Every structure is written in structure tokens, then in C-alpha cells.
Chain A
């Protein structure tokens, strides 16, 4: 069972470059989300999607997402800044069925921006 797959696992970017972090799930989950994880800060929700064709953001700038199908939820850094250095975690769950359907997390992408 693949679950939630994130690629790449590690990457280094230069300030101003753009990049897309990939996230794919094979569990037919409707709900997908992106978090960033920073030391001492826990996880912070960046973007989420309740279903294919819909997205909503939690933080205003610097990120973009698309949800063209159920399986994939890529996160794009439009113009990378050092403040976006972080570990990015993707998660998925069944759509709006409450806490009986827990979120499944990928292993994360560790991104450094120089």
C-alpha cells in the first residue's frame, strides 16, 4: 500500500526560483492538505482541498496549489524565499466524515532555500 507519496524527499533551491512539490495518494481520499513543519512551531496548515476542483488557502502568499484530480495535490512555490525553508507534509483523508477518518501523512519534503 503506497498511501501518501511525496516527492522529492530533499531539495535545495535558490531564492527567487520556483518549484513544485508533488503529493499523490492512492486511497481515493477527497480531502487533501499541505502543512509546513518548523522546529518549535509544530505543523501549520498552508492549503487544503475538500475535493477535486476545489482548493482553499490558510496562509496568504508565496504558495499555490491545484487539484485537477482526486489523487494529486501539488504545491508550488512561486518565487522561493529563505523564510520558506521547511519540511512540507502532505496529508489526505476521506472527505468530511469527521474524526473517524484520520488523516494519513506522507513522509515529507525537506526544502532548503538559499
Chain B
């Protein structure tokens, strides 16, 4: 069975500082990987996804993530954080062997706080 680990429950960064959120997955084949963001009282919004090809993927809002097969990781990065980035971030894995990424397994989330 697939699984996702987000080791950091809560991270605080200063506005303008760089950000890296960690995500490790467990899956037997090449996974489909996603990062979602959730603002308070809102649903989840897709930031970016990886399923094949270039291991460095670009997403919305200036985010990027790098797939590292050897480390089973898919860390999310942003060079300069804005106060509006404060939210909860979820990493998720979808099963590639069924031909669909629709059944997702989520990590427990990382809450990002941005100080001014």
C-alpha cells in the first residue's frame, strides 16, 4: 500500500525567506505525486504534480518541487515566501499502476506560518 510522510507538522518562516517542505512517500512503482494547499475554511487547491519526465516541476504561486527517486522524496520549495502563503500544505500520492491518480493517499499536512 502507498503511504506519505510529512515529518514537519508546523513550520515558521519570515516573509522573504526561502521555504522547503518535506515529503517522503512509499510506493512500489513510479508514483504520481501532488502538492495541495489549503487556506482556512477552504478546500484544497493543486499547486503542482509529477507523473513522469523532468524531475523538477513548476507549479502555481512560484512553487516548485523535485522528485528524487533514490530518496523517495518530493519536497516543495519556494525561493521567497509571501505572507499570503500561510496555509496548510499536503503532499499526496496516487497509484500509477491502475492508470489513474484519482485515488489519493495524503500526508498529515504541514502548517506554514509566515512572520512579517
Chain A interface (Cβ < 8 Å from any Cβ of B): 4, 31, 33, 35, 40-45, 48, 50, 89, 91, 93, 95-100, 102-103, 105-108
Contact = CB atoms under 8 A, between A and B. Distances in A.
B102 A48 contact: yes
Contact of A31 (B6, B49, B102, B107): B102
Given A89-B44, A98-B51, A103 B99 contact: no
Interface string B29-53: 0001010100001111110011100
A102 B4 CA distance: 18
A93 B106 contact: no
B102 A105 contact: no
B87 interface: no
The contact size tier of chain B is: 20 to 34
B100 interface: yes
Interface of B: 4, 6, 9, 32, 34, 36, 41-46, 49-51, 90, 92, 94, 99-109
Contacts of A42: 4, 6, 90, 106-109
A40 B51 CA distance: 27
B102 to A, nearest CB: 5
A33 B100 CA distance: 13
Given A42-B107, A102-B34, A93 B41 contact: no
A93 B43 contact: no
Contact of A43 (B32, B45, B90, B99): B90
Nearest to A93: B102
